[in-house]
Amino acid sequence: MIFSADGNRLTLRNGSELVWIEPWGEDSLRVRATRGAAMSGRDWALMEPVPELEAIIEIETIDATEPWNRNDPGKRRAAQVARIANGNIAAEVDEEGWITFKNAKGEVLTQEYWRQRNRIDRYCAPLRIDGRELKPIQGTNDYALTARFEAFDDERVYGMGQYQVAQLNKKGATLELAHRNSQASVPFYVSSRGYGFLWNNPAIGRCSFGTNLTEWTAESCRELDYWITAGDSPAAIEYRYSAVTGRVPMMPEYGMGYWQCKLRYRTQDEILAVAREHVRRGYPLDVIVVDFFHWTLEGDYRFDPRCFPDPSAMVRELREMGVETVVSVWPTVDRRSENFAAMAERGLLVRNDRGMGNHMSWIGDTTFFDATNPATRDFVWQTCKRNYYDAHGVRVFWLDEAEPEYGPYEFDLYRYYDGPALQVSNEYPKRYAQGFYEGLKAAGETDIMSLVRCAWAGSQRYGVLTWSGDISSTWRAFREQLQAGLSMGMAGIPWWTSDIGGFLGGMPEDPDFRELLVRWFEWACFCPVFRMHGERQPWYDHDAEHPEYVDNVLQITSGQPNELWSFGEDVEKILSKYLFLRERMRPYIRSVMEEAHETGAPVMRPLFFQFPEDIDAWKVEDAYLFGPDLLVAPVMEAGARERAVYLPAGATWTDAYTGEHYAGGQMVTAPAPLDVIPLFVRDGRQMDLFGKTRR
């Protein structure tokens, strides 16, 4: 192993392996390794400029711990060890190239997992397992990558994006590094050991936080690339991470209120009728969504004039009511679309390495456009700008199918402008959002926000509001959304939402579904974005045996009603209570959004984020903080009318309903009748939740 200091970078060379370790932001290091001729130069999620920081690099020559000749144990060769430090973090590299990361106190944060041979100075089984493995893929310049790190019994792991699982702590989990409908792989986590780690690689792979080792894999890539930071608190770690990947913009005012969606409002008249009814009933409404198949064909990116005869008048009337119009865009292009030929000829569509180029067959044979291609992003934005923004004043977009949702998810089949799908797929939703963000910004918009059904590391910088996809209307799915939202926040995506009541299913007349909807609505009031959605059953309002076609295009029904008044008067009374509560919370929400914009702090956050010194707070997975001062304990069990709530030590807590005070560091039982979600306010903060101030 040969070490050298190349400016601010520590370089390791061992035969064909080249390793770079360098400062990348305050208290942070970036590690890259390749067996190719040179590093690729791709920064992936690390898109923000970083300050020039002077690292401390030390290279020392020592006697090797192993004999030069096993037949002559007294003869030893000289070897080198090295250390690079940047503020609160240091990487120490031994003579074999094994890397250990420590904080400024000298405490081990994490270290590579090597099992090569028995050593004198540290235990190692002779398994011939490397911590860094770049295995050539025959006949290519690509590698199958595995990176291994030691496991620690005391470690807890939070973040990694959105997975439909029950556990908030991902220690013990195996996670696919790939996007799917309802799954967003955002490979950044915060460790209870005081560090944050970004797998800076958009390749398809897997991560396992095992009890014996932590292992990251990429099926195909050019190099290893990860970023690590040390921090004295989760907040400090998120601050450092967002500084190098980008911070979310300030949320527009309309984003903080109530959003109304359903499976689909089929016509202009349906949209306006719902908005007018909100006004008539005196209900606040900030956003209404024109969802999928409002278009002539997928890929045309324009209103169907038969259903939307005057979109400009619709947008104008809604805006006069104080309601923003959101329009759905899909990355699918129907072969019959007016844009298909031009996009295909210019190479703007995702390619197949083999077989047919049909990626989804639903209401038409479609191909996904290639969002990694700058020319594609420009073409799609210019088309949407002409047909929505310029023509009708639409300035907020719902970027659906952003994974993209291949049928099937055979990633070795597809190829992008940026490379094989196996190597670059996970960047797709970020690039998709980038096209609209940059287009809107160039058009002069400043309050930019896009609802996107997926995200990757760095998506937040493009004003992405991620939602959790087509989840089911079940209590299990409801419980899984809590950890999904918290995990997205810890992975650096502060704007997140779910479909209130779930998307797949839900009978408006069913009492059991009504209870689920009420509990979900109460919780959503304390999510970053408060948004009703769902297909609602039965799906069709006409004879399914005789579907409707117009010009050989299947027409999608509106589905069942999904408005506040659609579930009976008793439900409406409870929902409206939380609708007005959200309005009263606007000043607080605005301050929390400012904090996310300025520091990268999640909007909804695990209890330990604010109380890292409380060991018990790290174990709580069924309650959270909405901003710094409001503890939310959602009721996520059918029939429950009370629940236990842990109040973190280091603060006093006030029941938002009764005004009763509690010392932190204890479990309390909170009443939870159907119209109540338990809420506790921190340290006597003034918060007007129910129309009067309590202290």
**Looking at the annotation, which residues are catalytic?**
400, 403, 470
Q: In this structure, which long-range contacts are made by residues 267-276, counting pairs with CB atoms below 8 Å and at least 24 apart in sequence?
A: 267/307, 267/308, 268/307, 268/308, 268/309, 268/310, 268/311, 268/314, 270/558, 271/314, 271/318, 272/314, 272/317, 272/318, 274/563, 275/317, 275/318, 275/321, 275/323, 276/321
Structure tokens at 109: 């944060």
Give the integer Cα–Cα distance in Å for 3 and 12.
Answer: 5
Strand pairing class (604-605; 624-626): antiparallel
Structure tokens at 18: 């080249």
Cα–Cα distances in angstroms (integers) from residue 421 to residues 205, 351, 456, in the given order: 11, 10, 15
Structure tokens at 130: 């490397």
Residue bearing tokens 């419980």: 479
Give the integer Cα–Cα distance in Å for 625 and 486.
Answer: 10
Cα–Cα distances in angstroms (integers) from residue 661 to residues 264, 317, 391, 566, 654, in the given order: 46, 47, 56, 38, 4
Answer whether the bond into residue 404 is a cis peptide, omega within 30°: yes
Q: State the DSSP H helix or E strand holding residue 667, giving kind and residue range, or none if neither.
A: strand 666-671
Identity of the amino acid at 280: R
- Report which DSSP code applies to 251: P
Q: State the DSSP H helix or E strand holding residue 571, giving kind and residue range, or none if neither.
A: helix 569-584
Give the strands of the sheet with 396-399, arranged side by side: 496-497, 464-467, 450-452, 396-399, 324-329, 287-290, 258-260, 530-532
Cα–Cα distances in angstroms (integers) from residue 356 to residues 248, 345, 530, in the given order: 39, 16, 41
Strand partners of residue 556: none
Give the integer Cα–Cα distance in Å for 106 and 203.
Answer: 33
Give the integer Cα–Cα distance in Å for 329 and 398.
Answer: 6
Structure tokens at 677: 């979600």
Give the integer Cα–Cα distance in Å for 224 and 34.
Answer: 6
Strand pairing class (360-361; 287-290): unpaired
Ramachandran angles phi, psi of 65, nearest 5°: -80, -15
Strand partners of residue 431: none
Angle at 265 between CA 261 and CA 270, to 5 degrees: 115
Structure tokens at 10: 């520590």
Give the three-class secondary structure for 176.
Answer: strand
Give the integer Cα–Cα distance in Å for 349 and 359.
Answer: 11
Cα–Cα distances in angstroms (integers) from residue 312 to residues 140, 315, 318, 442, 522, in the given order: 53, 5, 10, 22, 34
Structure tokens at 174: 């195996």
- Asked if 88 and 231 count as a contact pair (C-beta separation under 8 A), the reply is yes
**Residue in 529, 532, 556 with CA at minimum distance from that of residue 542:** 556
- Asked if 204 and 218 count as a contact pair (C-beta separation under 8 A), the reply is yes
